[in-house]
Amino acid sequence: MAIPARLSWALKKILASRETIQEAHSQHVYDADCFSIKKLCRALKGDQPTMQWRRIICNNRASPKALFITWLMLHNRLATKSRLYEWRILTDTTCVMCSDASETVSHLFFECPTSKQICTLCLQQIGITNHHRGLAEEVKVVAAKGHSKRPQNRLLLMFFAEVVYHIWQQRNLVFLEGLG
């Protein structure tokens, strides 16, 4: 059947994926003549790797705005001074929080002395010793803890997102004061 033009975007996408679902159907998505949505999802996913950040964002009870900023940070999409420099909007890339290095996502959240101090103080409040890891290592550790349902690990996930959000907010306040 042809896809009618008057259908919604979502229905058009569903109907357009018929071939993909038929291919997945041939990959044994039935278990003893019973359809398995889990097997269908695995067949549709293929050999794609799972993303580490998924555990940090999904099922996190942090505020939606903190989760959004954290998602942007994890995808290196925040408008740091380095990115603004690449877009030829700014001529200076110096970190507004410490004035010691170029302001990248990695520096701002995990290498900047001011951010490290904020993280250490916050972690002490929930009884966790901070080891000051880099971006990739910190994401790996926090994502690994996201598998656990222990209250301390759930609190760490929320903490991670909220601290990223508040460091970004503080950075923006300092940055905008410098412009005005």
Which H or E run includes 178? helix 151-179
Left (φ > 0), alpha (ψ -120 to 50) or beta: where does 12 sit? alpha
Q: Are 160 and 74 in contact (CB under 8 A)?
A: no
Cβ neighbourhood burial of 116 (10 Å; 0-12, 13-18, 19+): middle
Residue type, 47: D
With CA atoms as reference, report the closest residue to 83 among 171, 173, 180: 171
pLDDT digits over 116-164, tens only? 888 888 888 888 876 778 888 888 889 988 888 888 889 989 999 999 9
Residue 77: partners with Cβ closer than 8 Å, 6 or more residues away: none
Handedness of CA 87, 89, 90, 96 (dihedral sign): negative
Q: Which residues of the chain have pLDDT under 70?
A: 24-32, 130, 180
Q: How many helices (H) does the chain have, and how many strands (E)?
A: 10, 2
pTM of the complete model? 0.75
